[in-house]
Every structure is written in C-alpha cells, then in structure tokens.
Amino acid sequence: MTTITESINQPLALTGGPKAVTRDPQDILDWPIVTPEDEQAVLDVLRAGSMSGTDVTRRFEAEFAAWEGTAFALAHCNGTAAIQAAMWAAGVRRGDEVICPSMTYWASGLPALTLGATVVWADIQRDTLCLDPASAAERVTGRTKAIVVVHYAGYPADMDPIMALAEARGIKVIEDVSHAHGGLYHGRKLGTIGHVGAMSIMSGKALPAGEGGLLVTDDRQIYERAILWGHYARHGDLTITELLAMSGLGRPQAASGVPIGGVKGRINQLASAMGRVQLKHYDRRNAEICKAMNYFWDQLDGTPGVRAHRPPRDSGSAMGGWYTARGLYVAEELGGLPLARFCEALTAEGCPAGPGANMPLHLQAFNEVDIYGDGQATVLANATRDVRAPAGSLPVSEAINDFCFGVPWFKRYRPEIIDEYVAAIKKVAAHADALKA
C-alpha cells in the first residue's frame, strides 16, 4: 500500500507517473442512498392509489417541521415552487426588488420575475461563497422587499448582519437551504433564522426525495399565504380572515379554493413517502458526510494553495450536507499556477476536479430577454430603475473560476479511500512548479 508521503514523491500522473487514486471508490460517492425501506414506502402509496392525496404529505410535513424546529412546514412539488411561494408570502409584489447572491442556482432569484418583481444581484464572500452582507446593504433601496440568502455548498451564510440589516428596514429574509439541510449557524438550524426558509429535496440534494421542496416558517401569516398561493385543495386550513376572504371560501359559488397564484404547488405523495424515510435517516447520514469531509479537509490543513470551505472550529456553525462540495484555491501560494491547470492535474491523478461553481447569474442572458412581451428586458420592465449588474460589478462572483473548485463529495467515512484523494491534492500542490513549466 502506498502511503500519502510515498504518493507525493512520485511523478505526476499528468506527466506519466502513477495515479494517486487507484482504489475502487465503492459506494463512497453514491447518492442518494435508497434501501428497501424507501421502496416499500413508495409501493405503499402506489398500491393505495393515493399519489395525489395529502395524508402521507401531511405526515411528512409534521415530521419535517419537528426536525427543522419550525411551527410550520409546507411541502411543494419542487424547490423552485417553494421559493416562489416564499417570495409571495413574504410580500413580494409588482415593482418590488429582491436581493439575491449572483452565485447560486437560478431558482433562488428568478421566481421574483414571475411575481412582477425584479432581482438585484449581490456579491458573495470569498471564504464562505455566501451572500456578502456589505454587498447586500449597498443594494437596499426603498423597494427592497426581500433578501434571499443561500447557504452555498453547505456553508452557513453570515446571518446576523443580514438579519440586522433586514429588521432595521422591514425587509423579509428568505433562506434558501437547498445546499445545506441540517447545517447550523451559531447553533441555530439553517432555515429557522430568516422569516421563511425554502429548500429543494431533489434527488441530487443532501436530503433527497426525487423531486420536491419544503417551505418552513414560524410565521402563520407566511404559512397561510403560501397555502393560498398554490395549494387550492388546502384552503380549508386557512384561519386568517383576510386570506379567507381572498380565497373565495364562504361565497356560495366557491365550493373549493382557487389558488391565488394560479399555480399548483402540491408534491407527489411518492416523493413525500420517500422524503419521510430519507428524513428519518438524515441526521445519521449527514453526520457521516460531515465526518468524512472533515477528515478529508483536516488532512489537507496546511497544504499550500488549498483551503477548506467550512466554518472555523468552535464557531458553533456547521456545514449541512456538503452538497456540491467545494474547495478554495490560493494561486499565489503555488507560484500563480492557474486553477484550471491544477484541476487538470488532479483529474489525471484520479480525483475529478473542475474550477468554479455555478455561473454568476448577473451575467446570464436573461439580462436582455423580454419574457412577457413588455418591449424591453423583463428585469427592466419590472423595475423602476436599471437594476442590471454589469460585468465587473460583482468581482468575487465573477472570479469564481480562479479561486473555487469542486472536490469529491464523500458520503461514507472510509479513511483508506479518502486518503488517496488527500494524496492526490498534496501531490499536485507539491509539484506545482513542474506544472507551470
């Protein structure tokens, strides 16, 4: 067996040396983990012929709210629908602005356009990859109705300054927890700190249920508004007079509710059934992911050119799920070696790695596209000012390919396998001079 030190001293695989990663990865990268328990739960729903019911879903929601620690959880057909509902429930309306980090999946921000509102893109912090509170503060105007915070790649965003900023201005904070289920910020569970949390439970996410989403909140107004928005069959749950009036219930012609949003957010009960099983095992699986990823990064501590993407020890904050696990890169410590070349060498060692993360959203084509026939770009048609962020305006997001790279997302704690990936990174860092030549 080759030790990490021996491995480092061999020539790079890129230049004809032996690969650092040679073992069978087994199931260490596999996800989601589906067992006969998931299969049975899904079969039960199929055999009961109740894919479109809500009994399994209501059980899932009750269990999810208990796990999350919120008064309410409302399941949705996907994370995008949950985020759109959260925005409307937070009061986002025509002409309003929603601040959102540029470095995220599109669904964190784009649903604002469907509400007649617009997105104001903000920058991220280099070490956390999450919304930079200072950048958000610079972009607040009288029209800002909500701030979306994304706990990017599992990292808990710096919520305290964002909540302080929001509370002072009467702005709602929506936490997008799609990357970070079960993570902690100063001891508090992600999704419970803002006014409302929304998250995907799509099959690739840390908490996987096929396709689905959750909206979580302690605020009954927000919960009931989300029901009114997209859950027509559940208008019977409404208690708030104003919302009841909007639902049309009580009027003779309205036998059942009509969703105010003209959208349907209901989750398929097959996904709810799988979600219940996945949730039951989630804390244990997340703990193993954390153990494996922390073991990986602990060994890389002090390696020139690379930094872990995780909160400091003893901060009371913890990664959740490590979805789309990232590493940070410091080219200056490797004589300016470009990250793309570093990743090429890593991939040759058997550790697939690529620079970057999501594409910065503020530079995407929908800056120009006229979605609703306004005769001008929708982002402008919905706004009272030019909200577009030109190239150069969000420098950290734009530099993502220079300082951030994908690392293996370990789901199992198998040190002898993880060691080989550690060796690959240490080896490439040790041979950086050879790569530059």
Ligand X SMILES: *Cc1c(COP(=O)(O)O)cnc(C)c1O
Catalytic residues: 205
Q: Which two tokens stand for residue 429?
A: 């860092």
105 makes contact with ligand X (CB under 6 A): yes
Using the structure block, give the residue that is written with the tokens 């990017």. 152
| 247 counts as binding ligand X under rule CB under 6 A | no
Q: Does 156 bind ligand X (CB under 6 A)?
A: no
For ligand X, the closer CB: 86 or 117: 86
Rule CB under 6 A: is residue 104 a binding residue for ligand X? yes
Q: Which of residues 355-414 bind ligand X (CB under 6 A)?
A: none
**Alpha-carbon span 348 to 294, nearest angstrom:** 24
Apex 329 CA angle, 326 and 331, nearest 5: 160
Stretch that binds ligand X, among 15-23, 136-144, 175-183, 187-195 (CB under 6 A): 175-183
Which residue number is nearest to ligand X in terms of Cβ? 79
Q: Is 107 in the site for ligand X (CB under 6 A)?
A: yes
Least separation, in Å, of the C-beta of 198 and ligand X? 8
SS3 track for the chain: CCCHHHHHHCCCHHHCCCCCCCCCCCCCCCCCCCCHHHHHHHHHHHHHCCCCCCHHHHHHHHHHHHHHCCCEEEEECCHHHHHHHHHHHCCCCCCCEEEEECCCCHHHCCHHHHCCCEEEEECECCCCCCECHHHHHHCCCCCEEEEEEECHHHCCCCHHHHHHHHHHHCCEEEEECCCCCCCEECCEECCCCCCEEEEECCCCCCCCCCCCEEEEECCHHHHHHHHHHHCHHHHHHCCCHHHHHHHCCCCCCCCCCCCCCCCCCCCCHHHHHHHHHHHHHHHHHHHHHHHHHHHHHHHHCCCCCEEECCCCCCCCCECCCCCCCEEEECHHHHCCCCHHHHHHHHHHCCCCCCECCCCCHHHCHHHCCCCCCCCCCHHHHCCCCCCCCCCCCCHHHHCHHHHEEECCCCCCCCHHHHHHHHHHHHHHHHCHHHHHC
Which CB sits closer to ligand X, 180 or 377?
A: 180
**From candidates 150, 343, 377, 423, binder to ligand X by CB under 6 A:** 150
Cβ 213 to ligand X shortest distance, Å: 5
Q: Using the rule CB under 6 A, is 183 a contact of ligand X?
A: no
Q: How far is the CB of 358 from ligand X (least distance, A)?
A: 8
78 part of the interface to ligand X, by CB under 6 A: yes
**Residues 274, 288: Cα–Cα separation, whole Å:** 20
Of residues 77 and 222, the one with the C-beta less far from ligand X: 77
User: Quick check: 80 binds ligand X (CB under 6 A)?
Assistant: yes
Binding-site size for ligand X (CB under 6 A) equals 15
User: Residue 150 or residue 165: which is nearer to ligand X going by CB?
Assistant: 150
CB of 120 to ligand X, least distance (A): 17
Least Å distance, CB 389 to ligand X, is 19
Instruction: List the one residue from 7, 57, 125, 178 that touches ligand X (CB under 6 A).
Output: 178
Residue 200 contacts ligand X per CB under 6 A = yes
Compute the least distance from the CB of residue 305 to ligand X, in Å. 27
Check binding of 175 to ligand X (CB under 6 A): no
Question: Which part of the chain contacts ligand X (CB under 6 A), choosing from 75-83, 155-163, 219-227, 275-283?
Answer: 75-83
Q: Is residue 128 part of the contact set for ligand X (CB under 6 A)?
A: no
Among the listed residues 119, 136, 190, 202, the single contact to ligand X using CB under 6 A: 202
Interaction between residue 272 and ligand X (CB under 6 A): no
- Decide: is 84 part of the binding site for ligand X (CB under 6 A): no
Q: Any contact of residue 176 with ligand X (CB under 6 A)?
A: yes
Between 20 and 173, CB nearer to ligand X: 173
- Binding residues for ligand X (CB under 6 A): 78-80, 83, 104-105, 107-108, 150, 176, 178-179, 200, 202, 213
